[in-house]
Amino acid sequence: MPPKLSKHSRTDHSASADFTPRGYRSPRGQRPRHAPRGGRQDRPDRRQPRETRNYETRSRAIDDAFHAPLESVQLNSLIFSQCIAQVLRKQSGIKTKEDHDSALADNYFETTSRHLSYIFRHTNLMHRDGSLSLHELISHPGTARKIRTLFREGMKSLQNFDENEISMRLRGRENTFRFLMPLAHVICDSNKARAMIGYVSVEDYQPGVTPIAENWFKTADFDNETARDAQANILEGVDIASIFIRFESGHSTDVEIQHCPFMPDMFTLRYLIHGTNEKNLDSIRRLGLLPGGTRGGRNQVHFALDSTLSTLKDVLRNESDCILIGRPGALAGLSPKITHNRYVLTDQTVPFTRF
């Protein structure tokens, strides 16, 4: 009998072999895609500047939501404000540090956080002050899907709330509370979001208005119970008409958010920390630290203000493998600003010699 000719089987681990089990499909029912030899060539070059003209823009539905009458926006805003108040007081799903860590590790929680980070930093959906109202977010199809997915697939404990703390005018709306409570946790406690909360009272409400500067606050740290309780008191002491969200920094679009000037002499014992990747060090040495790096796409250079060099959770991304450290005086003469949550920004290039 002549010998059998050898040929690749579906289980051969060679460069051309497809060793995915026959008939395999992803959880969404899609067939696997395999990269050709040499890698995929159709992916965009992420080193190039972002095309801001391709950013998602406002739709008619979102504009109508922004100009909706009081009767259309107040109920959900009242419920959401009470959800936020319960999250701040730890009367809901996240009550301990262990609960907080579990939520941050949840895939749906992180996905919603990243989605909001993109919506509020890299689209043309926001107003000039970088904000969007809750009513606008719910009217945005992509965000509405993320909120529904977080509600259906995320941690069920995030839907818990204290029924005894609900005001009498909102009794009977428990399903809406359960739906919005996970979003309140993301807004208040997500590391990625760093969101600010603003409100418009019934007295000041008009269709098409955003909160004034005095009506914005950044949620306090999870461990700062005194400050969080005071913020909950603010929300409960106002007859809320509409709730707004915005991010303080990291924008690649044209927004106008007022920040306080940064005075280096007031923080002589602190450090400025910037996370980056080692492959960027050569260009940083030559060109300095540019807003958005060599590919652009950011309005400012972003630093964390740290006194112990230990709070690096929000400074280093997963792809970052080194940090640049400087004293506050490194930004002297570069028009630095400081945000509510003690991040320092400058829209100018920082020379490498200052680190």
Mean pLDDT for 341-351 is: 79
Structural contact between residues 250 and 275, judged by C-beta atoms closer than 8 angstroms: no
Structural contact between residues 171 and 164, judged by C-beta atoms closer than 8 angstroms: no
- Per-residue exposure over 327-350, b if at least 16 CB sit within 10 Å of its own CB, e if not: bbebbeeeebbbbbbebbbbebeb
Amino acid at 163: E
pLDDT range class, residue 192, cuts 50, 70, 90: low
pLDDT range class, residue 326, cuts 50, 70, 90: confident
Mean pLDDT for 259-277 is: 79
Between the ranges 3-12, 145-154, 279-288, 330-339, where is the mean pLDDT highest?
A: 145-154
Mean pLDDT for 226-230 is: 92
**Percentage, residues of the chain above pLDDT 90:** 37
Check: pTM over 0.85? Answer yes or no: no
pLDDT, residue 105, reads: 86
Given the candidates 3.40.640.10, 3.30.930.10, 3.40.50.170, 3.20.170.30, the CATH classification of the domain at 260-354 is 3.20.170.30
Between the ranges 67-81, 120-134, 211-225, 238-252, where is the mean pLDDT highest?
A: 67-81
pLDDT, residue 109, reads: 92
Domain boundaries, the chain: 59-247, 260-354
pLDDT range class, residue 14, cuts 50, 70, 90: very low
Mean pLDDT for 192-206 is: 85
Q: Tokens standing for 124? A: 């043309």
The residues pairing with 245 across neighbouring beta strands, listed in sequence order, are 132, 197
